[in-house]
Amino acid sequence: MDLEQIRREYLAGGLRRKNLKSDPFEQFQDWLALALRSNIPDPTAMTLATVDGAGQPSQRIVLLKHSDNKGLVFYTNYESQKGRDIVGNSNVSLHFPWHGIERQVLIKGTAEKVTQAESEQYFATRPRESQIAAWASPQSRELPTRQALLNRYQEKEIEFDDKKVRLPDFWGGYRVVPDYFEFWQGGAHRLHDRFRYTRAGLSWQIVRLAP
């Protein structure tokens, strides 16, 4: 397999300073809207990086469920590896790998739990099977067998019977509050466009970065 020969040019379009919004949240919403329209797979999938107590980073994909100028929200098990990392170090990074439109967005910030009401509202929209699975899966913990997981699922199914599945106390949302955004647009000859936004008081400073 000759991986060295796998390459392509990025020709979809350029990014100019004059076309950028002064507010990175607005810039992000614009790009997200385009990604959603573009038929690329899983446009709301983002890689979340966290760091554990020993300084070891980990990454995994989570789904963006809400975004506004307060931050970007995803839902998970608070007792998972990522949840435990965030308790010790709330600094996180998000990455959207939008290959299909030759763009990527990098975000750095801090993660905080959303309110119980927000989590309850979102949990209620999930299919019942996913709600039961949230109860059944001790996310990131060791399992002896797959059957052990299926047994836990069945127990929870019986427990909830025909009752409403309530929000587990170990499950809910995190809001990533960004203090750093980078918007990357692929360019010809590897001369890509990159712009970094960092907080400067109440506004944002925008700087072009070398590709």
Q: Which of 190, 194, 199, 208 is catalytic?
A: 190
Minimum distance of ligand FMN from residue 76's CB (angstroms) = 3
Q: How far apart are CA 145 and CA 33, in angstroms?
A: 41
Q: Which is nearer to ligand FMN, 139 or 198 (CB)?
A: 139
Nearer to ligand FMN, 52 or 102 (CB): 52
Q: How far is the CB of 169 from ligand FMN (least distance, A)?
A: 16
Q: Token digits for 55?
A: 């300084």
Is 190 part of the annotated catalytic residue set? yes
Find the length of the chain. 211
Which is closer to ligand FMN, CB of 17 or CB of 60? 60
Measured over the CA atoms of residue 185, residue 60, residue 170 and residue 86, the dihedral's sign is negative
Smallest separation, CB 162 to ligand FMN (Å): 27
Residue 25, sorted as left (phi over 0), alpha (psi -120 to 50) or beta, turns out to be: alpha
Positions in the binding site for ligand FMN (CB under 6 A): 42, 45, 58, 60-63, 74-76, 80-82, 139-140
Between 63 and 209, whose beta carbon lies closer to ligand FMN? 63
* Least distance to ligand FMN, CB of residue 157, Å: 21
Supply the residues annotated as catalytic: 190
